[in-house]
Amino acid sequence: MTVRPAEGSDTGADARRALASASRPRAHGPGPAPDQLRRAYLELLKLALCDLTGRTTISVGRGEDGVVASREIADDQLGLRVLGMDWPLQGLTMIGLERLSDLQQCVESVLADRIAGDLIEVGVWRGGAAIMVRATLDSLGADDRTMWVADSFRGFPAAGGSDDRWEQIDYLSVPSDEVRASFQRLGLERGVRFLEGFFADTLPGLQQQRWALIRLDGDTYESTRTALDALYPQLSVGGYLIVDDYGALRECRAAVDEFRAAHRIAEPLEQVDWTCIRWRREDERFESEEDREPPPAVSEPPPAPRPPSIRQPDRHIRSFREVSLEQQLESLRAALQERDAELAGVRARGLSRLRERVRRELGGGGKS
């Protein structure tokens, strides 16, 4: 998942420079040669996955008040989608065209170099990036490779100590049946394995697998570090480790930096775009943390994880215009309640005066 870069940060400056020079979304037309047809198919697929086949598209965002709503973007604003800087309402991926193209090249590279292993994405949302991997594999006849799709398919686990509260954004929760249906709709359901559940429960069970490519899009520190610990030891030499939100999310970057330092991983980081990085494994040796001096004992046990929310999701995304109208309606309702209260007070005072007058008149009649 991608979030907009913070203003004033180095990542924000990189993002603004990239946005200023973002290319227009466009695919090459088909030609008669097989390579030309393959290129045209994959480029058209990337446009479709990003919902960029039309002149306009709908972008989802979260305002400063935390409200998630949508708006239409067009023309120069489409650069946001090209660079993966917004959330699409209808598209199947948030990562944009540039990261999809780099992912395609990584898949082609491990196939050309005959790097052993399957491919896995950890944190898939609607499955667009994994669909791109499977399509690239199929276009090159790599039927022997499996694309693993790992996600909770229930959004984020509840986590304390964060103001973001991603688990409260139902838009980010996509059921596995919906992701499976997208693979099927595009004719890419073969050679795909789903791994459903929170990463701490599912990824440690993959220690016997061999990987040619690992793509991490878990966003949080815990998810990123869990995936690295469970999967990286089985990454083949020559395989790629891709991290989607290294630049955009500080906690993701911390997990990667700490893991690389703990295991003395020296391969250089390569910047894909304003937020995504990758490196290609060169050293087969992997220094485990058990081989190093153990850290000081912890005086208190870590807090127990909070159970996942069982709140039923509401995945309808309102437009910013609808949100504005709802806010105006709430203001009118509040004003109407105040007027009703004032009117009730006026009526109560008038009725009180009438009762007092009747009592006086009845009292006076009694004396006569």
- DSSP readout, 81-105? HHTT-SEESS-S-SSHHHHHHHHHH
Burial label for 335, CB within 10 Å (0-12, 13-18, 19+), is exposed
> Could you report the per-residue pLDDT of 293-304, keeping only the tens digit for each?
554 444 444 444
> How distant, in Å, are the alpha carbons of 123, 165, 350, 362 from that of 231?
14, 27, 77, 92
Give the residue, 367 or 277, on which the prediction is more confident: 277
Within-domain flag for 179? yes
Same domain, 217 and 331: no
**Pick from 28-32, 88-92, 312-316, 343-347: least confident:** 312-316
Same domain, 203 and 243: yes
List the beta bridge partners of residue 242: 215, 278
Within-domain flag for 161? yes
Within-domain flag for 306? no
**Pick from 58-67, 228-237, 307-316: least confident:** 307-316
55 vs 49: CA distance, rounded Å? 15
Pairing of the two strands 235-243 and 277-280: antiparallel
Q: Which domain holds residue 87?
A: 10-290
| Contact status, residue 216 vs residue 122, Cβ threshold 8 Å | yes
154 pLDDT band, cuts 50/70/90, is confident
Ramachandran bin of 153, using left for φ above 0, alpha for ψ from -120 to 50, beta for the remaining angles = left
Within-domain flag for 3? no
Give the residue, 162 or 42, on which the prediction is more confident: 42
Same domain, 336 and 257: no
Within-domain flag for 311? no
Same domain, 277 and 328: no
> What pLDDT does 147 receive?
98
Q: How many CA atoms lie within 13 A of 10 on its CB side?
A: 5
The CATH code of the domain that includes 226 is: 3.40.50.150
Same domain, 331 and 217: no
Residue type, 135: A
Same domain, 219 and 336: no
157 vs 335: CA distance, rounded Å? 39
pLDDT beyond 60 at 227: yes
Number of domains in the chain: 2
> What pLDDT does 148 receive?
98
Same domain, 162 and 199: yes
> What pLDDT does 22 receive?
74
Within-domain flag for 305? no
> What pLDDT does 162 receive?
52
